[in-house]
A and B are shown apart, each in its own frame.
Chain A
């Protein structure tokens, strides 16, 4: 096999054509030898499948008739009212079957698992969205399913545990390490090493060893493709900004990808700033800026001076991961995407504002992107870029990727806003 050359910081050709295994100096395949054959099999199967018209036909049919694609692009007029001259649109991944963007990737990889003759899926999950989506696909395709979830997360997302079990999946509470998402990934990898003959590890985000970052992105690219067409149809132009939250970064890369080479479109990734990046209690590895290797990829990590992973913190379980997809690390270094931290309290305020101005309750993950939109719109108004008299053709258009719905977060939000007595409170840190 070819020995890939690592260490390059430049890129050649279009941003959209970056394939992996390396994105600049990031990515790669830092994995035990035991899994290398399986990773090669996944990569070969993926490359064959996306050239196979039958596979694409089946995938598109499931996107349309099972997931409910294309998802809507909804203008949030009342949410945008404080920012005259700015129009804000929501890409409604919350309306997908199972309630988030996660299902796009899950359906794609489950089809690949079938193509490889695997009979069992395993997955990690933090908030439960990816676990629910995987359990759903397993039910749909008649596959066995085991979901690893940190014990802390099984407690704060108990309803999602019941949902997965109802769908026929086995949920294993991971009781080692920090007992959150990264430990669930460790445990899923330990399972996979021993079960790789029959089992596909359905990784839920754009990190991990090659080909996962590229493959997961591929199954989410549809988000940006739709948004680009919808923007032109509904506003007559491309948006001025596209904003998404970034944990591992799958919804973000999904909506960014179609716009990467549109130089007039600003791209913004919102990391979970938690209690504040200077407090150490956050999940913002790009902002922290320390490069290392975790779970198969070279990328930005939350790590200490020794290279030990630091526990991440976020009010949003889905962003509570100490790494980020390697393509995001590359897009950060290249300057194409602007990554910024959003604190828990900014995100929760945006959560409440959208819910009460539009009747749309976002996932707390997605609320980080909404807070980013508020920040940008406010800046434009403050700088006089637009005002109430700006003609429609010159108004600024922002698309926010509303990656998931907030039903799962009601108890967290109720606790945050003090709507329940303390002794009955759900997750509230």
Chain B
């Protein structure tokens, strides 16, 4: 991974490590159910123990998302969410919490605004980096350039199906951390963390990644604790969105405290 440029997400994960914790990364969709409530929910995340907050950009065709997140982002769009609103959200959340803030986005939204323009406005708002579920390094020439220019982290993904040479390419292309997909599938809470997760994390570490965080299917403190035994961070999405849907921003704070209790290493 490229380390010449300061990385806000690397800093946060290393800080958690120094404190004997697994880094905790929580996902919230921008604009769900409204822009103001999504800010409050993200602030709850940050103030209850999340090291990194991942703001999801609602998109019309979210092929990597399960039903809960699909419905939430569709509602945000119905409520009139516009892509440029995310910069206001990021600015608010970075000023009201200590967490690093990344955006999870399908690539066409960035492409449409222009990669440079998007990156500039995001960096100005205090953003740390992008998680790009449908952008692989081979297609990312413009993003490499803009992310270096504006000092943003490039968080690419590795999957259980990734062959060695692709894991290597992903690790070399990423900055901050690598997002290891725990299971062959889409987002959604699952009963157990897949056995495949540990292997993909090991392979990603072995390819030279200093920080690997695991996402997909994590919904319990026990999952967070289990992942902490082999990975550097746990990423939770659907469980948090469900809490927001059913109980509002306060419920996000509660479930974050509960999940983070699994992050402390004995």
Contact = CB atoms under 8 A, between A and B. Distances in A.
A101 to B, nearest CB: 26
Interface string B145-168: 000000000001111111101100
Interface in A8-43: 28-38, 40
Contact of B181 (A4, A33, A293): A33
Given A36-B162, A177-B60, A309-B60, A190 B111 contact: no
B63 A190 contact: yes
A6 B136 contact: no
Interface stretch (A109-117, A229-237, A299-307, A363-371): A299-307
Contacts of A309: 60-61
B136 A33 contact: yes
Contacts of A4: 138
A176 B70 contact: yes
A306 B109 contact: yes
Contact of A196 (B112, B141, B161): B161
Nearest to B62: A186
B59 interface: yes
Nearest to B77: A308
B141 A6 contact: yes
A312 to B, nearest CB: 12
Contacts of A293: 107-108, 111, 134
A29 B138 contact: yes
Given A30-B107, A30-B134, A176-B70, A303 B112 contact: yes
Nearest to A190: B186
B184 A196 contact: yes
B136 A36 contact: yes
Contacts of A40: 163
B138 A193 contact: no
Contact of A33 (B60, B83, B108, B158): B158
Contact of B111 (A7, A37, A292): A292
B88 interface: no
A7 B163 CA distance: 27
Nearest to A292: B108
B6 interface: no
A193 B184 contact: yes
Contacts of B66: 190
Question: Which of B135, B137, B159 is most buried by chain A, counting CB atoms within 10 A of its CB?
Answer: B159
Contact of B112 (A1, A38, A176, A307): A307
B203 to A, nearest CB: 13
A409 to B, nearest CB: 27
B186 A37 contact: no
B7 to A, nearest CB: 21
B64 interface: yes
Nearest to A301: B108
Interface in B38-97: 59-64, 66-67, 70, 74, 77, 82-84
B187 to A, nearest CB: 10
Contact of A34 (B59, B108, B109, B184): B184
B243 interface: no
Contacts of A34: 157, 159-162, 181, 184
B139 interface: yes
Contacts of A28: 138-139
B135 A37 contact: no
Contacts of B163: 37, 40
A65 interface: no
A6 B138 CA distance: 9
A144 B59 CA distance: 32
A176 B74 contact: yes
Nearest to B159: A34
A307 B139 contact: no
Interface in B9-47: none
B5 interface: no
A189 interface: yes
Given A177-B74, A293-B108, A294-B61, A306 B184 contact: no
A200 interface: no
A227 B107 CA distance: 40
Interface string A183-203: 100100110011011000000
Nearest to A7: B141
Contacts of A303: 108, 112
A189 B185 contact: no
B149 to A, nearest CB: 18
B186 A193 contact: yes
A85 to B, nearest CB: 47
A32 B64 contact: yes
Interface in A301-324: 301, 303, 305-309
Given A33-B158, A303-B108, A1 B169 contact: yes
21 contacts: A6-B141, A28-B139, A29-B138, A30-B139, A32-B134, A33-B156, A36-B159, A36-B162, A176-B70, A183-B61, A190-B186, A193-B64, A193-B186, A194-B185, A196-B184, A292-B108, A294-B61, A305-B112, A306-B84, A307-B112, A309-B60
Interface of B: 59-64, 66-67, 70, 74, 77, 82-84, 107-113, 133-139, 141, 156-163, 165-166, 169-170, 181, 184-186
Interface of A: 1, 3-4, 6-7, 28-38, 40, 176-177, 182-183, 186, 189-190, 193-194, 196-197, 292-295, 301, 303, 305-309
Given A34-B181, A34-B184, A293-B111, 20 more contacts: A1-B169, A30-B136, A32-B63, A32-B133, A33-B156, A33-B181, A37-B166, A40-B163, A190-B66, A193-B63, A193-B186, A194-B186, A197-B184, A293-B108, A295-B63, A306-B82, A306-B83, A306-B109, A307-B108, A309-B61
Closest 9 CB pairs of A and B: A307-B112, A34-B159, A194-B185, A309-B60, A308-B60, A37-B161, A306-B83, A307-B108, A307-B109
